[in-house]
Chains A and B, each alone.
Chain A
Amino acid sequence: MAAALPAALAGDATRPGQHTRLHSLVRWLFIAVSLTFLAAVLLAPLVTVFVTALERGLQAYLHSFANPDTAAAVRLTLTTALVVVPINTMFGLAAAWAIAKFEFRGKSILITLIDLPLAISPVISGMIFVLLFGLHGWFGVWLREHDLSIIFALPGIMLATMFVTFPYVARELIPLMQQLGNDEEEAAITLGAGGWMTFFRVTLPKIRWGLLYGVVLCNARAMGEFGAVSVVSGHIRGLTNTMPLHIEILYNEYNFVGAFAVASLLTLLAALTLVVKTLVERTGYRRR
């Protein structure tokens, strides 16, 4: 997903045969078709989010966050991300260290398995936890006897979110660390540095931008996950409703200002994620 092309490759001014009438016609046609398609499919929905959220004025927009159920949804989403993102970050760092720094058999299988959640429908990602921990699931009876609940409660929401956002940090770090090589780490170890010291003083400074983007993307997906969380949450207002699920409830109640107000927060989060991505790419680090 390379973006930000060097200007020399994109510039056409010095190319021969570019100034004929046909060429400039094709050029404008392509630009026009691209912009029209993106405007209709991407830009119009994005603008709608903010226009609808603000259609009754700023007061009504801000007031919609005072609703206790909306506030509870925001809190639940933040709590979930606060638990899930650090765990998946730790996993991503460990997986990247094992895969990028060492040669072992079955490495490509391991990478494929880590990417697996990306290929699975979010609905299935949620369903597997219902099959395990739901009322009629494998551990359902045992959990009920011990008065524990995972499905329709916070642990289920966290598990489903963890599954869905599992690969994001690892996927950013593995190619980056493979590309950077082992020379500096090997020098540090040979000179007597410990493993943790080598990681914090040598590796971490090199990968910090890629790590930052991985964490931000993981966070955006964790806060925005709908399908998987919808299956395990039970949609209990004020209790197990995350922000995306709350958007659905408000929307189905025709409370459009409320629904789009919550949506506007998540849209801003997505925009922030793209800003971080662009800045990270500016630092010279390119994704595959």
Chain B
Amino acid sequence: MSFRQPSVLPGFGLTFGFTTFFLSAIVLLPLAALALAAASMHWSDFVHVVLSPRALGSYRLSFGASFLAAAINLVFGFIIAWTLVRYEFPGRGLIDALIDMPFALPTAVSGIALTSVFAQNGWIGRYLEPWGVKVAYTWLGVTLALTLISMPFAVRAVQPALLEVQRDLEEAAETLGAGRLYVFRRIILPTVLPALLTGFTLAFARALGEYGSVIFIAGNLPMKTEITPLLIVIHLEEFDYHGAAALGVVMLGISFVVLLAINLLQAWGRRRHVKAAH
């Protein structure tokens, strides 16, 4: 087989050439620079940076808060997607459009707005304060910011899957005397499970790399409320390029593992879909 199948359409050389050239210049070569910068470090220096107590503290917060945010979005993303797909109520179209807001809104704006709402004297923060719940400048605030920015990924992953649940199957089951919970467990959940997990992983991946919205609400205390991307920025500001590159490579490696997981989950979902169709 040759590299390309014949076609009467012109322009392959031009567009393919431009695409690969531009991709290499803007994306691939700069990324290679990062890998090389980390590779040029001595192994013990690399380990010293990526396993320093401060780095470990930042991983704990970044992973813990991202995982928690993705879990919150797993639950609320499902409820919101269900509400939008199954129920008719005034303002549904508007809410559906608003779901994408965190995707279009600059992260700095989300950050300062969330901080002022959940600060001690903020609209919501003032009602949490008497209960001893502090959101702004704690790990709770970090989780909240990550929940907001990763919310559309969870909702939009589940929505199309919920549309595909066969309503006549549900009705048949109910006619035959199945309870609502049984229908949910045996008919709805199996159909949307791959989409739920994909949404969870997409939200987790997005939350892990987030910087802009978190630094406003986090308080940024080393070991306590300092996320890994912020630690990279601190290394860069001290002109410690190697330290920054080492942490960057660790984050990149984790992103690739998460991406791989997403691809496997989606392949699993497609296989189940094909099987169900037969």
Contacts and interface: CB of A to CB of B under 8 A. Distances in A.
Q: Do A and B bind each other?
A: yes
B80 A274 contact: no
B33 A41 contact: no
A178 interface: no
Interface string B198-231: 0000000100111110001000000000000110
- Chain A contact-residue range equals 35 or more
B108 A166 contact: no
A95 B15 contact: yes
B229 A189 contact: no
Interface string B237-267: 0010100110010011001101100000000
A274 B97 contact: yes
B34 A273 contact: no
A232 B134 CA distance: 33
A273 B15 CA distance: 28
A15 B167 contact: yes
B212 A227 contact: yes
A1 B22 CA distance: 28
A49 B240 CA distance: 36
Given A3-B96, A30-B83, A267-B105, A138 B33 contact: yes
Interface string A37-51: 110111111101100
Given A45-B113, A137-B241, A163-B30, A40 B124 contact: yes
A226 B212 contact: yes
A110 B239 CA distance: 34
Contacts of A284: none
Interface stretch (A62-70, A118-126, A141-149, A204-212): A118-126
Contacts of B245: 127, 131
Nearest to B256: A119
A10 B7 contact: no
Contacts of B259: 119
B212 A91 contact: no
Contacts of B258: 119
For the residues of B in contact with A, the DSSP-based class is helix
Given A10-B86, A49-B109, A136 B239 contact: yes
Contacts of A171: none
B127 to A, nearest CB: 11
A70 to B, nearest CB: 14
A275 B94 CA distance: 10
Interface string B40-79: 0000000000000000000000000000000000001001
Interface residues of B, number: 99
Given A91-B19, A98-B16, A113-B28, A186 B8 contact: yes
A13 B88 CA distance: 9
B104 interface: yes
Contact of B116 (A52, A94, A113): A52
B163 A42 contact: no
Given A48-B123, A132-B30, A266 B87 contact: no
Given A102-B12, A131-B241, A10 B211 contact: no
B163 A121 contact: no
A15 B167 CA distance: 9
Nearest to B209: A121
B236 interface: yes
B182 to A, nearest CB: 14
A117 B27 contact: yes
A226 B111 CA distance: 11
Given A123-B209, A123-B233, A131-B34, A45 B9 contact: no
A135 interface: yes
Which of B9, B109, B232 has the most A CB atoms < 10 Å from its CB?
Answer: B109
Contact of B236 (A16, A34, A130): A130
Contacts of A95: 15, 19, 23
A223 interface: yes
A213 to B, nearest CB: 11
A189 B12 CA distance: 14
Interface in A1-21: 1-5, 7, 9-13, 15-17
A251 B15 contact: no
Contacts of B144: 41
A121 B229 contact: yes
B22 to A, nearest CB: 5
Interface of B: 1, 3-5, 7-12, 14-16, 18-20, 22-23, 26-28, 30-31, 33-34, 37, 76, 79-80, 82-89, 92-93, 95-102, 104-110, 112-114, 116-117, 122-124, 144, 147-148, 151-152, 156, 159-160, 163, 167, 171, 174-175, 180, 205, 208-212, 216, 229-230, 232-233, 236, 239, 241, 244-245, 248, 251-252, 255-256, 258-259
